[in-house]
Each structure stands twice: as structure tokens, then as C-alpha cells.
Amino acid sequence: MTIRFDGKVAIITGAGGGLGRSHALALAKLGAKVVVNDLGGNVDGTGGSSQAAEKVVAEIKAAGGEAIANGSSITDRKGVENLVKQTMDAYGRVDLLVNNAGILRDKSFAKVSLDDFQLIVDVHLMGAVNVTKAVWPIMIEQNYGRIVMVTSGSGLFGNFGQTNYAAAKLGQVGLMNALKQEGRKYNVKVNTLAPIAATRMTESIMPPQALEALKPELVTPAVLFMLSEDAPSGAIITAGAGFFAAVKTIEAQGMHIPGAVSADDVAANWDRISDFTNPVTYESVNDGTARVFKLLQK
């Protein structure tokens, strides 16, 4: 089986460079009609120009593909409405969405301003919400949709100086976890990418020898898989330098402490409570609740 996207329409946010550009070029090569969205701002979110998106569209057309450019900000609801309207006017449907757009305002929690914290949440989390909300009814009506959220190792595992970014990025995982259930009966699948790549957002903190090994093109195959007809739903995939790994939220086997439980009881049993030798995973929060009730019945 060869994964292709003939007849499919894709919106890629933040596709004027880096990972988004790589995803856009690859999707177009495999037959998709691509809407290249990019505000054209700096890494910190300042400024803006349509040139970046238009350049990628020119690349796609030069290679024989079909694409249009859009310069809307994903934090602007009216702009997002325009993005989706432009897509529908041009192509009549939306099949694929990659919530790739993002910026950085890195500072330690002690030094980061609440304005910068809010801005990162607005771009990464609410930006993904805004665009997903706008295409959701279209995908439900079509009975078909594939959405990719973009998280980060900073969100999954933490990183010094990125409290705002980490919180927003892990928020996209929570968004996916709920949407995968709401979209299931409508054939709308939602997955999440955790990329490891050298882009404008990371090149200043990576040594030169890492830049080639971590080129965006080695991340894109994971995105193409998550957008495909037979994609899973609810998956988190780390991808970079040709390395791919699924990531899951897990729970220890734990234990039931009967009777009146004290903090001392928890402390005394912490080794067993935190033993991940045989971890448990859940499809939804209901599975976790059901497990607790089963333990109580014993």
C-alpha cells in the first residue's frame, strides 16, 4: 500500500518554513491540494509578511502541485474564518489539518511575564483550538477528517525556561485525547506529533553538526502517516533524525489502601504505588474510573 492524498485538501498552519514547509511540500507531492498558512512573523511572533507562504506556494506549483497562500493569524478568530472560507471557496472541502504554527518566548518562570505566558498559550493551544473548531463541522459533515496536533518534548517531559511553551504544548495532547473520542463515529481521526528538528525555533540552541541530522524532512513521514486513510487515532509520535517512537501516558499498577488512609500510609507504600513495572494505559478517563471501582470491589 502506498500512502497518497489525491483529491484531499490540506491546511498547514505555520507552513512558510521549517517543519510546516516540509509537510506542505510532501503533501502536495503526494497529490493533496495545500493551503499554506503563515503569518510570516519572527520566531517571537512579532512582525508579519505574506512572502513566506507565497514562496512555498511557488515551490509547490513549480513542482506541478496545487496550492494557495493564506496569511491569517491563528489567534485571530476572524482571520481563521477567512482561512477556512478561502479554502472552501477554492477547493470546496477540508480533509487534513496540521496545527503546526508556533512561536517562542523562553524565560524561566521567575522571569517570564504573564503577557508572554498568555501569548504562547494563545498561539499554541488556542490557535490550534481556533483552526480545529473552524474545520470540525466541515469534517463531521464530510464524514472524513485527519488532524495533527503538534506537541513537544518540553510539554511531554519538561524543559527549563519553557513553562509557557510546555503548558501550551501539553494542552494540545489533552485536546487530542478528547477529540479522538468525539470524532470517532464521524471518521475524524486526531493524532499528535512530537518533533525533534532543526528549525528557526531551535537552530540557535543546537550545534551546527546537528542541523543536517535533524532536518525537517526526516520528521514529515510521521505526519503523512498520521494524516493517512488508515491512520490510528489518539497516537503521539516522536519523530526526528529518522527516529520514530510512540509515546503514551501510563499509570502504575498502584495499590488500594483500605480503611482510614493517612499521608503516612501513602509514604510507607510509595515504592509500590510508584512501581511502573507493569503499567496500565487507558482509552479514556472512564477506564481509569472503572479500574478504581474494580479494585474497591475486591
Domain range summary for the chain, segments of one domain joined by +: 9-247, 263-297
The sign of the CA dihedral 99, 169, 107, 203 is: negative
Query: By CB neighbour count within 10 A (0-12 exposed, 13-18 middle, 19+ buried), where does 205 fall?
Result: exposed
Give the model's pLDDT for residue 266: 98
In this structure, is the dihedral angle defined by the CA atoms of residues 190, 194, 200 and 201, taken in order, positive or negative? Answer: positive
Contact present, 17 and 201 (Cβ < 8 Å)? no
Specify the pLDDT at position 245: 97
Give the C-alpha distances (Å, rounded to integers) separating 28 from 4, 67, 95, 116, 148.
10, 8, 13, 35, 17
HSE-up of 285 (CA within 13 Å, CB side)?
3
Q: Which residues of the chain have a pLDDT value below 70?
A: 1, 41-49, 199-209, 298
Q: What is the pLDDT of residue 117?
A: 98
Question: What residues form DSSP beta bridges with 67?
Answer: 34
Active site residue 165: yes
Nearest to 11 by CA among 124, 178, 148: 148
**Region of residue 14 (left: phi > 0; alpha: psi -120 to 50; beta: else):** left
Choosing from 91, 165, 186, 282, the catalytic residue is 165
* Four-way CATH pick for 9-247: 3.40.50.720, 3.20.20.70, 3.10.620.30, 3.30.300.30: 3.40.50.720
Distance CA 124, CA 103 (A): 8
Residue 103 CA to its chain's centroid (Å): 14
What is the CB-side half-sphere exposure of residue 10 using CA atoms within 13 A?
A: 38
What is the predicted pLDDT for the residue at 42? 60
pLDDT digits (tens, 9 = 90+) for 112-169: 999 999 999 999 999 999 999 999 999 999 999 999 999 999 999 999 999 999 999 9
With vertex at residue 264, the alpha carbon angle to CA 258 and CA 266, rounded to the nearest 5 degrees, is 55
Residue 94: DSSP 8-state: -
CA atoms of 59 and 291, how far apart (whole Å): 53
- Kindly tell me the burial class for residue 83, based on how many C-beta atoms sit within 10 Å of its own C-beta (0-12, 13-18, 19 or more): buried
